[in-house]
Chain A
Amino acid sequence: MFEVPSVSSLYLQLALPGISLAAWATLLLVIDLFIPKNRKSVTAWLAIGGIGFAFVVNLLTFNSSGTAFLGMFVADSFGAFMNIIILVGAAIGILLSVDYLKRTDIERGEFYPLMLLTTVGMMFMASANDLTIVFVALELLSIPLYVLAAFRAPDLKSEESGMKYFILGSFSSAFFVFGAALIYGATGTTNLQEISAALGLLGAVTGPSPFLLLLGAGMMLVGLGFKVAVVPFHAWTPDVYEGAPTPVTAFMSVGAKAGGFAALLRILIVGLPLLMVGEQTSASWQTIVWLLAAATLILGNLVAISQTNIKRMLAYSSIAHAGYIMMAVAAAGTPGVGDQAVRAALVYLLSYTFTNLGAFAIAMTLEKNDGTGTDISTFNGLFRTRPALAIMMTVFMLSLTGIPLTSGFIGKWLVFQSTLSADLVPLAVIGVLTSVVSAYYYIRIVVNMFFGEGAGDPAEGATPYVNWAIYISFAGTVLLGIIPVLVTTLSDRITLVAALVP
């Protein structure tokens, strides 16, 4: 019945960045055993080396396209661009970890292979062309993250963080699988292109059942919505972000989001763009995504105002930013806007990766070894003690607000543009108004740093590794804001929609 495919017909070379990193992660688990306990930073450097290799390969093969693993994996510019985001995030995440693990006394070599494995999961999610691969990648993304969130055990908050993430994450995975099963039931396939083709028959007597499709799409939306933290599937975020070790939080806030949105965009735009019931002229899922985006924007931004812990504030801010990206996802539901919206979402994600990692990195420098020092009053007077850090944090905060000359503005600009192109004017209005709200709580950090009373924190966590992470994030944030062409030349090549027309 089943033919065993030959290795050459799998076209493994197309998945080389992901495969090489996966292999390296496994190998690193073994290598780590031979690295003495007091020199675990060697493992970190080996991990970064692996990421660097994958990054270079990814850049070299940016323009390659084709499917591997018998059509289950697709290499295209969308996946390659996502890989850039994910790998940059992972590299900065590891840079942040080295000294942090040492000074908080949780340095164990397994940390780095776990980081690499979850990175691989994200990368495969970005290139998945089949619902089963999405699910496998989703689990590969999630399980190491559960472990990493609880890495500070037996610290109670960290254990709570890991446990909460695990239980709720499992639920959401179950939702996703059930949704995928329903889609399979309706269309008889899990391949995204074939699903899309099957949707062409929607409305015909022999066509797929719209009821199953809608239910399946909705359940997958729940599963992935949980990963990217959109309201109302966001409740885990503040607790998990607060409890997890800060470098993990930083990485999780960008990496898991990137992976989740990559899968969401692929499923909705490659698989289900034609899911239009009856007289609809845009995809049926647009309305619900629209509502999720609006709720996320409003709740995320409003609740962030009342936070006093920087990690919780950044957690709500990350919820809010998921809302902005959801705006682009909603816009993609209008035929003809798809690619523009996808590009906007990806540029936004890249910008958010730099900015948010930078913000977390600076928050981390103020954190004490026992995990305290995360209150936003810690920032008081930072400008007096560490002016450079304070100025860079200001840039990150301005970027998160979306003030021009930072990457955040470019991201928001593109997202709003795609939203208006899709004629979703009310959503765009909600988006800009909540941006003003967000200015309030971001500016509060700036106020504390420059004008706050207090001696100012010495920021002892600002070790060379961390500084480099901050510099990289800062450079990315500013460069992308001033010379956006650097990125748009890459993002302009992304054509996700055209992929569905064979």
Chain B
Amino acid sequence: MENTGFSLLTLVLFLPMVGFSILLFMREEQEAAIKWTALGTSLVTFVASLLLWIGFDFNNPGLQFVQQWGFLPSYGINYYVGIDGLSLLLIILTTFIMPIGILSSFNSHIFHERGRIKLYFMFMLLLEWAMLGVFMAQDLVIFYIFWEVTLVPMYFLIGIWGAERRIYAAVKFFLYTMAGSILMLLAILYVGLQAGTFAVPEIIAGIQSGAISFPLDGIFSTQSFLFLGFFIAFAIKVPIWPLHSWLPDAHVQAPTAGSVILAGVMLKLGTYGLVRFCLPLFPEASIAWAPVVGVLAVIGIIYGAWVSYAQTDIKKLVAYSSVSHLGFVVLGIFALNSQGIEGSILQMVNHGISTGGLFLLVGMLYERRHTKDIAAYGGIWKALPFFGGISLVVTLSSMGLPGLNGFVGEFMILLGTFGSNSLGFFYAMFATVGVILAAVYSLYMFQRVYMGELDKEENKHLEPMKWNEIAVIIPILIAIFLIGLQPAPFFDTMNASVGSLVAHIGQFVDTTVAQASP
């Protein structure tokens, strides 16, 4: 394992904390300085993360930029970070979304009402740090620490700067996700005690060589419980139906930037966890549970789309569409083959960009009209043609139009599901229904908000887009077209790592089948 002194990865991870510390010593009145410091920090972090991509060896399936320091060495717990093809894209997604979230809140109404600008941006940077940590951690305990820490800033972002029912939403968000992850804590402890180490690569190597094994003989066996301990924590975060009920509340009440980050990155913590921990640590249980998870995912796809269609609150509509989109991601992961998993990882990125973009646009509408009721809009295209055009692109990207980013990921996932040994034709078929439903609710929403007659007086004189609103949406558009037209570099990034993951799981297919049919 190469361990070259101070790793660039650690630098990327702690850059947001540098900004956090600078903000700590600024005064509340220095509003402009606070905003620009936060934005500058997140931009520098983004650039640094691009350096990671440049320095990344595409052909190496293992960990790169590894760094280890003692945290609690006598208990076998180390600060241990490293990235591979599975995490690199998500790290870049995080550093890409954060400056957008920060810039989008520069002139937000929330500061007129609630103030506390300094605290707001401190929480943003703290959140970025914690989320990056989740994607980088290779030690189960360090991973758990970052995982839990993400809760705190998001809780305050919703609770202090959210909408009317923010307290309810914040507390629900906190308790729901904490309840899920606390069982994972026990599972982590158990795995660590059995394996003698908390370092994920070492545990996986042990599982591969047979030195570490968690018995799986039926639903009530050790590995099954451990799998569920991890799975439930991730499923709540994703969220997988039926554990999704915190999501609409959190999304609707959160401030715009909070929603963008929540949809853009935080939900991916869950799906990333499934790929990074559930599959390789518990391959047999993953194979055994895949059909069940697949059913939940498909229900989520259709349910999310269906409920989306019925919404009258535009933010809630986007929130439920996330349930549907992430159903696809989970389905692709549990296809347990290369196409499915690669499609899922790309779809995580896509969803972050498209849904993040949608939340930004909804936020801009809200800044102008102070309502999220779809019925209050109509004919916006006529009032704001430029804005309408952008909205069309983002909406089409979200529903998966070929040529834009959403299509590539969804197509790969369906392909993977179809060819999967654990899922198969019927899963793919029902998921395809979800694709159609996505077109229905997206276009229906677009029709009601942007098309039709400009018949409401309040909508006739809307303020055109401000400079920072244009500045945040342009990168989103670039990413949408870039991934849609040129997806190859993204797949190249993850190919090797996904290949080794699939090979690792494939090793256990026979044993699992043998155990399942006594």
Contact residues in B for A420 (Cβ distance below 8 Å): 186, 189-190, 193
A-B pairs, 6 with minimum CB distance: A404-B145, A432-B182, A436-B179, A404-B148, A451-B167, A492-B74
Contacts A416-B189, A420-B186 known; list 19 others, CB within 8 Å: A403-B152, A404-B145, A405-B145, A405-B149, A413-B141, A417-B75, A420-B190, A421-B193, A429-B183, A432-B185, A436-B175, A439-B178, A440-B175, A443-B171, A447-B171, A450-B159, A451-B160, A485-B72, A488-B74
B178-197 CB mask vs A (1 if < 8 Å, else 0) is 11001101100110110000
Interface of A (DSSP majority class) = helix
Check B156 against A484 for contact (C-beta < 8 Å). Answer: no
What is the CB-to-nearest-CB distance from A442 to chain B, in angstroms, rounded to a whole number?
Answer: 10
Interface string of B129-146 (1 = CB under 8 A from A): 000000000000100111
CB distance from B229 to the nearest CB of A (A): 10
| A403-433 residues at the B interface, CB under 8 angstroms | 403-405, 409-410, 413-414, 416-417, 420-421, 428-429, 432-433
B398 to chain A: closest CB distance in Å? 32
Determine whether the beta carbon of A488 is less than 8 Å from that of B189: no
Q: Which residues of B contact A447 (CB under 8 A)?
A: 159, 167, 170-171
Report the bound CA distance from A304 to B431 in whole Å: 46
* A451:B166 contact, CB within 8 angstroms: yes
Residue numbers in A under 8 Å from B73 (CB-CB)? 485
Cβ proximity bits B86-125 to A, threshold 8 Å, 1 near / 0 not? 0000000000000000000000000000000001000000
Give per-residue flags for A458-502: 1 if the beta carbon is below 8 A from chain B beta carbons, else 0: 000000000000000000000000001100100010000000000
- The CA-CA distance from A188 to B381 in the complex, in Å, is 94
CB distance from A489 to the nearest CB of B (A): 8
Chain B's closest residue to A428 (CB) is: B186
A429 to B189, CA, bound (A): 12
Q: Are A436 and B178 in touch, CB under 8 angstroms?
A: yes
Is residue B174 within 8 Å, beta carbon to beta carbon, of the partner chain?
Answer: yes
CB-CB contacts of B152-174 with A at 8 A, as 1s and 0s? 10001001100000110011001
**A47 interfacial by beta-carbon distance below 8 Å:** no
B side interface size, CB within 8 A: 34
Within 8 A of B (CB), among A244-277: none
Do residues B171 and A404 form an inter-chain contact, with CB atoms below 8 A? no
CB–CB B193/A488 < 8 A: no
Size of the A side of the interface (Cβ < 8 Å), in residues, is: 29
A435 at the interface (CB under 8 A from B): yes
Chain B residues, Cβ within 8 Å of A387: 119
Least Cβ–Cβ distance between B388 and chain A, in angstroms: 37
Instruction: From the candidates B148, B160, B190, name the one contacting A403 in the complex (CB within 8 A).
Output: B148
B36 on the interface (CB 8 Å rule)? Answer: no
Cβ-neighbour of B75 out of A435, A439, A488 (below 8 A) = A488
Which residue of chain A is the closest to B119 with respect to CB atoms? A387
- State A409–B77 Cα separation when bound (angstroms): 14
B70 on the A face (CB < 8 A):
yes
Taking Cβ atoms with an 8 Å cutoff, the residues of A that contact B are: 387, 398, 403-405, 409-410, 413-414, 416-417, 420-421, 428-429, 432-433, 435-436, 439-440, 443, 447, 450-451, 484-485, 488, 492
For B185, give the chain A residue with the smallest CB separation: A432
Instruction: Tell me if B71 is interfacial: C-beta within 8 Å of chain A.
Output: yes
* Contact B186 A429, beta carbon cutoff 8 Å: yes
Docked pose: A398 CA to B193 CA in angstroms: 26
B71 and A439 contacting across the interface, CB-CB below 8 Å: no
Chain A residue with Cβ nearest B190:
A420
Residues on A with C-beta less than 8 A from B166 are: 451
CA distance A387 to B156 in the complex (A): 14
Partner among A398, A414, A416 whose Cβ is within 8 Å of the Cβ of B186? A416
Contact residue among B119, B144, B148, B174 (Cβ-Cβ distance under 8 Å from A443): B174
List chain B residues, Cβ under 8 A from A413: 141, 185, 189
Q: A432-B183, A439-B174 are in contact. Are A403 and B151 (CB under 8 A)?
A: yes
Chain B minimum-CB-distance residue to A414: B75
Q: A398-B152, A439-B174, A451-B167 are in contact. Are A433 and B193 (CB under 8 A)?
A: no
Docked complex Cα distance between A398 and B179 (Å): 15
Give CA–CA (A221, B182) in the complex, Å: 30
On whether the beta carbons of A436 and B159 are closer than 8 Å, the reply is: no
Chain B residues with Cβ below 8 Å from A410 are 72
Minimum CB distance partner of B28 in chain A: A387
Specify the chain B residue showing the minimal Cβ separation from A492.
B74
Distance, CA A409 to CA B149, complexed state (A): 11
* Whole-angstrom CA separation of A398 from B156 in the bound complex: 13
Q: Which of A417, A432, A450 contacts B156 (CB 8 A)?
A: A450
Q: List 7 A-B contacts (CB under 8 A).
A: A404-B149, A420-B186, A420-B189, A432-B186, A436-B178, A436-B179, A451-B167
Q: Mark B52-77, 1 if CB is under 8 A from A, else 0.
A: 00000000000000000011111100
- Quick one: closest A residue to B151, CB to CB? A403
User: In the complex, what's the smallest C-beta–C-beta distance from B377 to chain A, in angstroms?
Assistant: 30
B193 touches A484 (CB 8 A): no
**Could you tell me if B185 and A416 are in contact, using CB atoms closer than 8 angstroms?**
yes
B contact residues around A492 at 8 Å (CB): 74
CA distance A428 to B189 in the complex (A): 10
| Least Cβ–Cβ distance between A313 and chain B, in angstroms | 17
Asked if A417 and B182 sit within 8 Å, CB to CB, the answer is no
Q: Which chain A positions have C-beta within 8 A of B149?
A: 403-405
Q: Please report which residues of chain B, range 383-430, place their CB below 8 angstroms from some CB of chain A when the two chains form the complex.
A: none
How long is the Cα–Cα vector from A417 to B75 in the complex, in angstroms? 10
In this complex, what residue of B is CB-closest to A444?
B171
The CA-CA distance from A440 to B182 in the complex, in Å, is 14
| A residues in contact with B152, CB < 8 Å | 398, 403
* Complex interface: chain B residues within 8 A of A450 (CB): 156, 159-160
Return the contact of B182 from the options A398, A414, A421, A433 (Cβ within 8 A).
A433
What's the minimum C-beta distance from A95 to chain B, rounded to whole angstroms?
Answer: 25
* Residues on the A chain within 8 Å of B182, using CB: 432-433, 435-436
Contact with A along B460-471 (1 / 0, CB 8 A): 000000000000
